[in-house]
Structure 1
């Protein structure tokens, strides 16, 4: 979600307008996306998790709604909740002057607490920071509910070759904790974390590079919004290419690659390297004859484990801009199936 020359989430006017947008009727196509209803806008850079019988979506926030929240009992009917923050934490205000938003959260459950990583930055700058908030529960009615800000995790400045936004947390099969992040500049980075603190294991260690797009003459080649999945003996890296945040003119799309090692190299189905701007297209805009859902990207993932038998479905969550609602950034969710060739396909 991000920024180099472009903003990665909608400007304030778009957010306010989108919040009032009504969802136009859509002929049923048999997909989950065609049945989504309720508070779907504005949703930008969503991530999803389930606690008990309730699904929770967190997404970019602005103004006094810093990190939007939504819940659903069935993945179909969505209700907006209170924001995680109503003001930036003091450390973030001091570290990133001029920022008034919290972007691209990431949610996970670790050692008895929910971890919410989040981004603080300003448009077009890599003076950016990743923060961390934790809570023992996501249920606002629970007596122990409450987000505790844990402060700074990673920060980048103009002297760095990366941008510390768009975090995603994962524990690998060896039990090591990692945070991947990045937008524009030299691409997607990977930091090893201390399992106890959720912060870098070695603050002086240089991050590993796992995806980038070599810039063509005359401009940048955007890559951002990393998310790593562990499935079938591979680690799968999703990233978004091109530009978000331009409403129906957004050119965002999502690609995926896989690697036997979490540190890479990540390759597309055709062997193309994500370190060279390759990968396999996973989510793209509607076909030209439809043209409703534009700029689909900043994908997150849910492995929805069934408590009865330990088996569950996979879902990808993302945002897209709705041409029938003035380009409102809208929540989208698609079931994922795994083909005979071992590669995922989203039913969007």
Structure 2
């Protein structure tokens, strides 16, 4: 017979893993200096799958999860909390792009347009500006899908047209996609650290940059008064008249030593009525001037460095969903320890706010319970 713990023992189970997981370089007394213990933000609803830089597309009653990994793994589930099944990979071997890290692309973003699925992916290595953004396509999703790799749209550091502005000053990683609701023009957003995040129009076939010899690029975010400019992982969504420019700010991963508290990944946003900006945060500061309203960050001493985000638009009478990867401090801090988390969004005076609770996330319903209780229950099951 399985004995379920009391609320008191639930609390102990939630706290004790934090102590046992303390890195050797940090004493228990220093925990509060590293892990933010705020309870002002809700805990995540757990996706119950390891994922770094997740990307989710809802199609024909399934959530399809694309993530960084060998050949870009694809999983699908009827519900955002799983269970997830593997349905193959985007690439069937190394990317055709002749650059580094060809077998393990990063940060895929998959969209559907014109009867075709387009997966934009990154090839790079940590700390390098020698990067490329490629694209692969298919006309179906599922276990029998066949993808075609079309190669690179953008090179930075070296490679075709890498000397052209602004590719000569940026880092071609973390692609995302948005279409102007008025003109129908589609755009690719990209960038990291080196001059931060940019946007450029795509050709009509979505397989190349429009006017690649002189691209009509605009800058979306920048930190003008800081040597390091840790902004990346862009995403763009639309809600009731505003385009929202989302991004991850801070140190992402490779936590051999911890950054100062609050300097790890967190999710920020700005908005504009124009898809090309300029974008401002809730306080009116331009994202080009270092602005960005924090929407989600480390919390409860359990969730650490959330980022690599995306936003699923509402369907029916539902809410937009913010999803991301995060590190659970009771598990570990390596890239392969990152797990999928998600929360519903409310909009207060037009600004997105992460809310507590679970609701309907698929064709079927699941019980509406607070995410802190769902999280504790899952932690207990982990320790049974």
TM-score (norm 2): 0.73
Shift of 1:154: 1.2
State how far apart, in whole Å, the 1-side matches of 2:169 and 2:204 are: 26
3-state SS of paired residue (1:205): coil
Partner of 2:330: 324
The C-alpha deviation readout for 1:59-103, integer Å capped at 9, x for no partner, is: 111xxx22122211021213241232353223x2x2x14554200
3-state SS of paired residue (1:105): strand
Alpha-carbon spacing, 1:124–1:215, altered in 2? closer, same or farther (3 Å): farther
RMSD after superposition: 1.9
Give the 5 Å matches for 1:5-24: none
3-state SS of paired residue (1:313): coil
Partner of 2:83: 78
Partner of 1:222: 230
Which protein is bigger by CA-based radius of gyration? 2
Partner of 1:198: 207
TM-score (norm 1): 0.80
Runs of 5+ unmatched residues, structure 1: 1-30
State how far apart, in whole Å, the 1-side matches of 2:244 and 2:45 are: 27
Partner of 1:33: 44
Partner of 2:18: none
Which of 58, 70, 73 aligns to 1:50? It is 58
- Contact preservation (8 Å) 2:270, 2:282: yes
Query: Do residues 303 (structure 1) and 313 (structure 2) align?
Result: yes
Partner of 1:10: none
Shift of 1:246: 3.1
Higher relative contact order, structure no. (Cα contacts within 8 Å, ≥ 6 residues apart) = 2
State how far apart, in whole Å, the 2-side matches of 1:265 and 1:48 are: 27
Give the 5 Å matches for 1:250-289: 251-286=264-299
Which of 93, 110, 134 aligns to 1:107? It is 110
Partner of 1:23: none
- Contact preservation (8 Å) 1:32, 1:335: no
Alpha-carbon spacing, 1:246–1:303, altered in 2? closer, same or farther (3 Å): same
3-state SS of paired residue (1:195): coil
Runs of 5+ unmatched residues, structure 2: 1-41, 357-384
Partner of 1:209: 219
The C-alpha deviation readout for 1:319-343, integer Å capped at 9, x for no partner, is: 001111123111111111122x111
Partner of 2:136: 133
Give the 5 Å matches for 1:87-236: 87-90=93-96, 92=97, 94=98, 96-97=99-100, 99-141=102-144, 145-157=145-157, 160-173=168-181, 174-206=183-215, 207-216=217-226, 219-236=227-244
